[in-house]
Amino acid sequence: MCGIVGYVGERSALDVVMGGLRRLEYRGYDSTGVALVVDGQISAAKKVGKLANLDKELAEHPLPGSTTGIGHTRWATHGPPSDRNAHPHVSNDHRVAVVHNGIIENFADLRAELEAEGYEFTSDTDTETVTHLVDRELRADAPDLTEAVRRVCNRLEGAFTLVIADGADTDRVVGARRNSPLVAGRGDGENFLASDVSAFIEYTRSAVELGQDQVVTISRDGIDVIDFDGNPAPVTEYHVDWDASAAEKGGYDWFMLKEIEEQPRAVADTLLGRHDAEGRLVLDEMRLSDDELRAIDKVVIIGCGTASYAGMVAKYAIEHWTRIPCEVELASEFRYRDPIVGRSTLVVAISQSGETADTLQAIRHARQQGSKVLAICNTNGSTIPRESDAVIYTHAGPEIAVASTKGFLTQLIACYVLGLYLSQVRGTKFGDEIGSTVAELEKLPDGVQALLDRADEVRALAHELADHRTFLFLGRHVGYPVALEGALKLKELAYLHAEGFAAGELKHGPIAVIEPGLPVFVIVPPKGRDQLHEKVVSNIQEIRARGARTVVLVEDGDTSVDPYADIVIRLPQAPTLLQPVLAAVPLQIFAAELASVLGHDVDQPRNLAKSVTVE
């Protein structure tokens, strides 16, 4: 959740660090701070609340100039949000400063040990324990900060990213990671550390992957990586294919609005290069052989929040196209229920950031059981893809707003591509059938754009319904996870009570809450050979008869719902399995507009963060 920045170079470290923290605000935080290396000591400033509070503090009490520094935006875990608990934490002698993401599980024992030696603690955090441990190593016989950090890491239990500065060393910042994100950026005469490449993308697009249990040292001259045992670690560099402007609002009031508008391109980019000249699907990141995929007899999809709803859609598609049994699990519950997985199971992990703690722990459990793991992810070089046997990158570009929009749509596309690829390898669909479905997928960017062109209708509806405090969403088949996603978006952004239901369950309880004027969104499936369409139309009649205000999402040309709908939102035509890509868009627009009408921060909803990197 928290944001971290570290810098060594020739620029003003304060400017670089503060700029990086601003680009990491989307991660969610409740306090912030910076520390600079100045004349053999650490000079620090930190404040509870938003970066504006720190800006004010720095204006009133400026820090000395420096070219080496670290910074942090904190999401409270140990100790409430306050000035004293904000990072960085500085040692008693003002030599060491530490910023930290994650949780040190054995901090209480370590703190007791340090207090017995005379160290004074000034915060309630687990992080301060690390500060004093590093300081102790430097006071003893550690030759430099890198070695001090390596020794301390071997005493820590839990998930953590650490970035540390030593006031006595003007040319070094050291980081370490275990189960929490950290990436290095390589510049010319300057180098960077951050929890996300967006923090330093203004200065360099050359990034260095950091593996598990590694210590990284940045200086003006280079980036050195060792493991926790002190052995040199291989360095893998990659090029970030988006620039700083991609992370700016581009004239929109909110990042989320910009990202909603970017969805046609994001969907197209996720499909780009997925088939060869003969029309066969090609997945460059697929590191599993055809024989391994043919041996799969069960697929388990794991994810959290919006990603889990993408997985629910994927279940319908994968089972229909491949005839492989498919389960969908909340990643946070997966390893705690003793799941039945093994060597013939393919676990599909969906995560926008690639750092989601619950999902990461779930794939590790799956691999311990011998399962193959395939990641669907948007972030190149992140932990989940690196620890998986294969990956499908979604190529959505940076998603800054906390509530996922283009992340969700591109996850759906990647799931469809995976399902079709499995059907190709296993021979459950003919090539022309796969080609026909791919052609339908390639129509979706135009369909999403058509919905965006009509967005004013949905925005007007948000203004019209702004005085309501409860909303229901109904869907069947793949419309059910769309209903869940629509309700989640409204809860995330507008802080209103919203529930998504399977429409077939209406008479099994939910119909009891229907009352006059209650807004109910209904996703109607396209007409097909089954009876789903007619059954959902019957549901609309049932709730309309009880006074509900029906907002019906239905494909163009279907007028069968018109007599029972108070408001109709037309969707471009698409096959049933692909309709979620289109149906989700109006619900995103509605939630964002309603939140804005109610005066909420659309990009950074209260209590939420973009990446949940602790369990």
For the annotated catalytic residues, the residue numbers are 2, 610
Angle (nearest 5°) at CA 418 between 413 and 420: 95
Q: 551 has which bridge partners?
A: 521, 567
Cα within 13 Å of Cα(527), Cβ side: 6
515 CB-near residues (< 8 Å, 6+ apart): 546, 547, 548
* Residue type, position 568, single letter: V
Residue 176 bridge partners (DSSP): 162, 215
Q: SS in 3 state form for 593-611? A: HHHHHCCCCCCCCCCCCCC
Q: Around Cβ 308, how many Cβ atoms within 10 Å? A: 22
CA atoms within 13 A on the CB side of 173: 32
Nearest to 457 by CA among 599, 278, 593: 593
- Count CB atoms within 10 A of the CB of residue 128: 29
d(CA 119, CA 71): 24
Token pair recorded at residue 260: 């909603």
Who contacts 31 (Cβ-Cβ below 8 Å, separation ≥6)? 46, 47, 48, 49, 73, 74, 76, 81, 82, 83, 85, 86, 87
CB 160 within 8 Å of CB 102: yes
Place of tokens 């135009």: 446
Q: Among candidates 581, 551, 557, which has minimal Cα distance to 569?
A: 551
Q: How far is residue 407's CA from residue 260's CA, in Å, rounded to a whole number?
A: 10
Q: How many CB atoms lie within 10 A of CB 138?
A: 22
Is residue 376 classed as helix, strand or coil in its secondary structure? strand
